[in-house]
Amino acid sequence: MTPRAVTRSLVIAWLAWFATGIAPARATEASDSAPVTDVELKPAEPAAGEEAPLEDEDEEDLVDEAGQRDPFEGLNRDIFSFNRSVDRYVFDPITRGYQRVVPAPGRHAIYNVFQNLDSPVILANHMLQFRVVDAAGTTTRFVLNTSLGLGGVFDPAANWFQVYRREGDFGQTLARYGTPSGPFLMLPVFGPSTVRDVFGDVVDILADPVSYLLGPWRWWTLVLGGSEGLTTREAHLDEMNALEAGSLDFYSALRSAYLQNRDAMAREARESAVAGIKTAKSH
């Protein structure tokens, strides 16, 4: 086990719902669910000659799809309840304390540094997915932000040159080549995932060059891992709170947001790969 793997296994609790390191934001980017009210609306009567809408069948399809992707829902909900308790009594107070101690510009700068450190792993996955344009952009961002951005404290790549971050991980790479996601999983402390993403996260951790540069079993690997998890969680805390406040069933909302976002990332990988192939052929 690499020091990075040990680090994340010990301090992954900081991440709460953002277990893949990346996440970031995986669960929040697709959280545009429409609000639900307690008022039961009667469907409009169909006009003459029109067929009645198949609302019941559509609802059944949605239920069936959720059941197929979450066959362990009962167990997942129990684990979700446990995670919520740990989050509420341990990690929320730590995150709020971090927000009080470190001003917003400092928190943003620290978050930028850890985002920059993820670049080598993202680049490797862009290359595996044959995303030529995105790989070039990730390389450019890493060079600019490491040099002009003082190690990633600032983001001149985006602010000055309009070269924006494009995510990439091995779970997405597997999806690019047709690997099914497998069942939805709610992991203890780690949060939402799928069988494919669990395997992808392990590969990304093992491939992270920071693990080898820092050396094994050193105190600074623990500090680095804990700090990265804390800053990631803090950066997306408001989004998660908004998702919870806007949903009647937080578990279902989180599951839906996570799966929709991962599906969107899989489509992005396939579409970007096609664009990359065309770009390579044109040269």
Note the pLDDT tens digit of each residue in 235-253.
Answer: 999 999 999 999 999 999 9
Domains held by the chain: number:
1
Query: Does 163 fall in a domain?
Result: yes
pLDDT at 270: 87
Query: Does 189 fall in a domain?
Result: yes
Query: Does 128 fall in a domain?
Result: yes
Query: Does 38 fall in a domain?
Result: no
Strand partners, 192: 186
74-91 burial, b for 16+ CB within 10 Å, e for fewer? eebbebbeebeeebeeeb
pLDDT at 210: 79
The segments of the chain whose pLDDT lies below 50 read 1-43, 52-64
**CB-CB contact of 128 with 95 (8 Å):** no
> Containing domain of residue 107, as a range?
3-30+67-282
Query: Does 42 fall in a domain?
Result: no
Query: Does 48 fall in a domain?
Result: no
Query: Does 261 fall in a domain?
Result: yes
pLDDT at 38: 39
pLDDT at 11: 35
pLDDT at 139: 98
Query: Does 218 fall in a domain?
Result: yes
